[in-house]
Chains A and B, each alone.
Chain A
């Protein structure tokens, strides 16, 4: 081996080239003219977003009755969609915070877009608790605020806890995402050719100059935010699960819900990240940064969380029988064998059987197979929430009030519309912001450590 100084000198030149390559590739996405694929994709997303606007207009002017919800199933697709989107929003924090604290360096290629996805998923989720209320113009009553009547929210209600859990999560995620982006925004500012981009990125970069002191503070703040976010990975979906677990409905009232929901959330979150990143890396020419090994790592996490979810399904049924609670046992038999059995088997096959394909190496390394399987997983995770919410409520204690939920076209349009919101935001992000954390990728790339014997 050559002397350290020589090696450092030699590799420094190579490293600089690699670093520049990363910067070029990532900023090109944001600074070059709009690629051809972007406009059709954005157009379709906008059409879907229009579905949301139209269906919300109809909902606000007519009432919840435009959906299929009824006096037996007070919640149906509305809360199913809410939990579905909140679940998807979980991968971002896990990747950003937990994997950061555990020094999982492979996360750097995907963390930025996963965080963005988180925020957009929380945005899509966040509309549902508001719009599903009968009088959404009064939804702000759920936020504690001083008022002349001395009225406070009812703190025993898990819906109240939801308000805190989700607003905290949204705030922290946005801070984390934006703060992590500041150095990269400065890079875009410096490289932008058009004036409006220079000004725009300049404002967003908050005067970042890249000094050692700025970097030091940045690293500290990032660590603190990571530490603050980590409990949120567990708490947010636990609190969401309390919406069900603290009720007294058979099928909802179970202590397994918090861990089961968290595992499911991470499961669906990773499935969505993979669904988005495989086309993104293809279209934006980022295959050498978002590598196949990264996608493979996500698949492995999906095997693990998929097994947890499958285990939870089994334990739920076992406990329903073992508890000796006749109502509980009926709810689960009805869930599996009753009128909604089609939904149950859709859920089990998508969430338990589909991830088993990831044991096969080819299914992990062929990105398009991964996308197909991940879409199925997300279908399954949507059905999981539907099964929990709609089938449990369909047949509760009083057989005189048993019923069957059928969605209306407005249920479907609202759901499509929430995808429109999500994709529109994500496409804007993919077009105008640094989709990969350049600084972080560089820091963990092998070139950054070449010849550094103190590592």
Chain B
């Protein structure tokens, strides 16, 4: 595209061979004796009969218990004898993906930090060291020192500093290089890592440097907060009260009760006793298909695959660190992460949240120009062309899933001659201009493609206006989910998987008390922790 040459071409040229890369690959393939042609293999996406032999693996000895004990209790190490563990970054791994802005802006599973690598310190240890989040600390091990920003992280082992690798690169590229504070790029943690201690080192001293460094998190962090002590804790306490309502869970005993219904466990609001409310407006009725989603929290492990898949599918822009610090990240799908219990040894719960496609959508009634409307199949559609950008829909969305184009986030790609945009954008999805609202569409472009295919005659389509078989349409997040926690389908088909899940006794509506009638339903998680792994002094179940 830019007239460059690939690595294999360079190697070949050094050997005096000017053959283009694709021919080189085809040639190598032919010589490998894998059978068939390179083009056929490329088309299929894999080469048949080349799988690795199945390995026989057995669970190891008693190492797990010892590790658990350390994690729970931690070492009471004093400053000067702290442990430093080196952790791969969930975004850039060891730094090799540092130039990939999608990954840089994907919030870490637990810290929700973007654009930087940090040093994780447990709340107790941070108190003892007098360190708080966004302090730049100097970590000294022997004669080596590293200045890195600290993040107080619930669940981090006491006396152990978790230094995330992968930042502070100087030749990663335009995105990945270490930049100014407002652009991010992180800190070079390899300054501390030697071959003597690849995974961890001990005897570390941590001191504050006195400087502060802004961390861009996509979720309010319990330690990054303002005001006097009541202000700081009032929100945390409320989250603990709301949690059993937002993320519903039960344990094995609770689930064994045949009368268990996740809908009925409603501790935060108590008006569920009064039955469902009535809408002020005439409610829409649906004759045909009714698209819906089910998210099984029991399967979700918060791995972010759905988040990145959605970004790739729907041309969701990367906005950069400064915009993230202003709460303007654009991801249509986010994973809310909450801590429960003792912050030094918390349980973590996660919940993927995107547009719930409410049947009584609060966003729709407040738009002055009717730019967000309901489709006959129950989708909450966004008409970008009609949107003037009052942002009232965003304010009135209790799930806060709407994303506004505060500036022209695609500015660099506006030039039609820019070849990157041909590769970057999904041609089936509108690229939104500045000043318009956007949000999850349930991958409406995939739904439409399936409908068109079903209506068109054979050989390209099914040939008749028949039903779209369950499973024909997968949303991007669903396709990427490794645990199949997300299921999408048609509620008008009683046999579809989503219909079955909507009828499950574990299903519940998020914020159901608002009578928004969301089309996305969650399935409560059933916890069944191994009592032997449960930390001492803490019951396995918590209800």
Chain A positions within 8 Å of B, measured between CB atoms, are: 62-66, 68-75, 132-136, 138-139, 141-142, 151-154, 156-160, 163, 243, 246-249, 324-327, 330, 333-334, 337-339, 341-342, 393, 395-404, 406
B386-398: CB near A (< 8 Å → 1, else 0) gives 1111111011101
Contact (Cβ within 8 A) A69 B391: yes
- The answer to whether the Cβ of B220 comes within 8 Å of any Cβ in the partner chain is yes
CA distance A159 to B327 in the complex (A): 25
* Cα(A262)–Cα(B246), bound, Å: 37
Q: Tell me the nearest residue of chain A to B335, going by C-beta.
A: A400
Measured between C-beta atoms, what is the minimum distance from B406 to chain A in Å? Answer: 3
With A70-B326, A154-B365, A159-B368 given, name 9 new contacts (CB 8 A): A65-B323, A71-B327, A73-B395, A134-B388, A141-B369, A152-B370, A154-B369, A247-B362, A248-B398
| In the bound complex, CA of A399 to CA of B220 (Å) | 8
- Most chain A CB within 10 A, of B269, B370, B388, is at B388
Number of interface residues of B (CB under 8 A): 65
Q: Measured between C-beta atoms, what is the minimum distance from B438 to chain A in Å?
A: 11
- Shortest beta-carbon distance, B352 to chain A, in Å? 10
Q: Measured between alpha carbons, how far is A135 from B436 in the docked complex, in Å? A: 7
The answer to whether A70 and B328 touch (CB under 8 A), given A338-B234, A398-B336, is: yes
A-B residue pairs in contact (CB < 8 Å), sample of 13: A63-B405, A63-B407, A68-B326, A69-B391, A133-B389, A134-B389, A142-B388, A153-B369, A158-B366, A337-B230, A338-B235, A399-B235, A402-B235
> Pick the contact of A334 from B234, B368, B437, B514 — CB < 8 Å?
B234
Q: A141 and B388 in contact (CB under 8 A), knowing A71-B328, A338-B231? A: yes
Check A69/B368 contact, CB under 8 A, given A397-B399, A398-B400, A399-B220. no
Which are the 6 A-B pairs with shortest beta-carbon distances? A134-B389, A134-B435, A400-B336, A74-B391, A65-B406, A401-B400
> Which residue of chain A is the closest to B402 with respect to CB atoms?
A71
Docked CA distance A337–B229 (Å) = 10
Contact B369 A63 (CB under 8 A): no
From residue B382, how far is it (CB to closest CB) to chain A in Å? 13
How far is B367's CA from A247's CA once the two chains are assembled, in angstroms? Answer: 11
Are B398 and A398 in contact (CB-based, < 8 A)?
yes
Of the candidates A65, A132, A334, the one whose C-beta lies within 8 Å of that of B328 is: A65
Most buried by B among A73, A248, A334, A403: A248
* Residue of A158, A326, A342, A406 most packed against chain B (CB within 10 A): A326
B225 CB contacts on chain A under 8 angstroms: 339
Residues of B within 8 A of A135 (CB): 387-389, 433-436
Q: Is the CB of A134 within 8 A of B405?
A: yes
The interface residues of chain B lying within 8 Å CB-to-CB of A342 are 227
Closest CB-CB distance, A409 to chain B, in whole Å? 14
Q: Which residue of B lies closest to A149 (CB)?
A: B386
**Chain A residues near B330 (CB-CB < 8 A):** 71
A-B contact count (CB 8 A): 196
Contacts A134-B388, A400-B337; A326 near B269 (Cβ below 8 A):
yes
Establish whether residues B400 and A72, one from each chain, have CB atoms under 8 Å apart when the complex forms: yes
Residues of chain B contacted by A398 (CB below 8 angstroms): 246, 336, 353, 398-400, 511
**Residues on B with beta carbons closer than 8 Å to the beta carbon of A66:** 407
Residue among A65, A71, A153, A327 making CB contact with B407, cutoff 8 Å: A65
Q: Is B219 an interface residue (CB 8 A)?
A: yes
Provide the residues of chain B in CB contact with A249, threshold 8 Å. 395-396, 398
A71 pairs with B395, CB closer than 8 A: no
Q: In the complex, identify which listed stretch (B175-183, B205-213, B236-244) lies at the interface while the others stay far away.
A: B236-244
Whether the Cβ atoms of B435 and A403 lie closer than 8 Å is no
Tell me the B residues contacting A by CB distance below 8 Å.
219-220, 225-228, 230-231, 234-235, 238-239, 241-242, 246, 268-270, 281, 323, 326-330, 334, 336-338, 351, 353, 362, 365-370, 386-392, 394-396, 398-400, 402-408, 433-437, 511, 514
Best-buried of B246, B337, B404 by chain A (most CB within 10 Å): B404
Q: Once the chains bind, are A157 and B406 in contact (CB under 8 Å)?
A: no
Contacting pair B338 A399 (CB below 8 A)? yes
Q: B281, A156: Cβ atoms under 8 Å?
A: yes
If A134-B391, A154-B369, A326-B268 touch, does A63 touch B434 (CB 8 Å cutoff)? Answer: yes
A247 contact set on B, CB distance < 8 A: 362, 366, 392, 395-396
Query: Considering the chains assembled together, what is the distance between the CA atoms of A403 and B323 in angstroms?
Result: 13
B365 in complex: contacting residue of A70, A71, A139, A157, CB < 8 Å: A157
Determine whether the beta carbon of A248 is less than 8 Å from that of B362: yes
**Closest CB in chain B relative to A432 CB, distance in Å:** 37
Q: Separation in Å of the B106 CB from the closest CB of chain A?
A: 15
Q: Is the CB of B398 within 8 A of A397?
A: yes
A159 touches B392 (CB 8 A): yes
Q: How far is the CA of A356 from the CA of B368 in the complex (A)?
A: 41
Closest to A129 in B: B390
Contact B391 A403 (CB under 8 A): no
A401 CA to B405 CA, complexed, in Å: 17
Assess whether A142 is in contact with B231, with CB atoms less than 8 Å apart.
no
CA distance A333 to B233 in the complex (A): 12
Please give the distance in Å from A351's CB to the nearest CB on chain B.
21
**Is B400 within 8 A of A157, CB to CB?**
no
Checking A71, A248, A400, A404 against B396 with a beta-carbon cut-off of 8 angstroms, the contacting residue is A248
> Which residues of the partner chain B approach A152 to less than 8 Å between Cβ atoms?
370
Closest to B281 in A: A156
Partner of B395, one of A74, A142, A337: A74
Q: How far is the CB of B338 from chain A (nearest CB, A)?
A: 7
Question: Which residue in B234, B270, B399, B435 is a CB contact (below 8 Å) of A333?
Answer: B234
- Chain B proximity of A253: nearest CB distance (Å): 10
Residues of B within 8 A of A326 (CB): 241, 268-269
Chain A residues with CB under 8 Å of B402's CB are 71
Chain B nearest CB, measured from A148 CB (Å): 15
Asked if residues A157 and B368 are in contact (CB atoms below 8 Å), the reply is: yes
Residues of A within 8 Å of B235, CB to CB, are: 334, 338-339, 395, 399, 402
Q: Which residue of the partner chain A has the closest CB to B369?
A: A141
Q: List the A residue with the shortest CB-CB distance to B366.
A: A157
Inter-subunit contact A133/B328 (CB<8 Å) = no
A58 smallest CB distance to B (angstroms): 11
CB atoms of A63 and B408 under 8 A apart: yes
Residues of A within 8 A of B268 (CB): 326-327
* Selected contact of B227 from candidates A64, A65, A338, A403, CB within 8 Å: A338
Contact B434 A324 (CB under 8 A): no
Q: How far is the CA of A353 from the CA of B213 in the complex (A)?
A: 40
Contact between B368 and A154 (Cβ–Cβ < 8 Å)?
yes
Bound complex: CA of A68 vs CA of B406, how far in Å? 10
Asked if A246 and B435 make an inter-chain contact with CB atoms under 8 angstroms apart, the answer reads no
Q: Shortest CB–CB separation between residue B337 and chain A, in angstroms?
A: 7
User: Given the complex, which residues of B lie within 8 Å of A63, measured CB to CB?
Assistant: 405-408, 434-435
CB <8 Å contact, B337 and A325: no
Taking CB atoms, residues of chain A closer than 8 Å to B404 are: 64, 69, 71, 74, 134
A142–B368 touching, CB < 8 Å:
yes
CA distance A324 to B351 in the complex (A): 27
B327 near A70: Cβ-Cβ < 8 Å: yes
Contact (Cβ within 8 A) B234 A71: no
From A65, A243, A324, residue with most partner B Cβ within 10 Å: A65
A398 to B345, CA, bound (A): 23
- Name the residue of chain A whose CB is nearest to the CB of B510: A398
Output the nearest chain B residue to A159 by Cβ-Cβ distance: B368
Interface contact B435-A157, CB-CB below 8 Å: no
* Closest Cβ–Cβ distance, residue A454 to chain B (whole Å): 55
**Quick one: closest B residue to A139, CB to CB?**
B388
* Cβ–Cβ < 8 Å partners of B327 in chain A: 70-73, 401, 403
B323 CB contacts on chain A under 8 angstroms? 65
Nearest Cβ distance between residue B111 and chain A, in whole angstroms? 14
State which of B227, B351, B511 has its C-beta within 8 Å of the C-beta of A339: B227
- Given known A71-B402, A248-B514, A326-B269, contact A142–B369 (CB-CB < 8 A): yes
Question: Do the beta carbons of A134 and B434 come within 8 Å of each other?
Answer: yes
Q: What A residues does B408 contact at CB under 8 A? A: 63
- Chain B residue numbers with a CB within 8 Å of A62 are 407
Chain B residues within an 8 Å CB radius of A142: 368-369, 388
Q: Roughly how many angstroms separate A247 CA and B514 CA in the complex, as a whole number?
A: 12
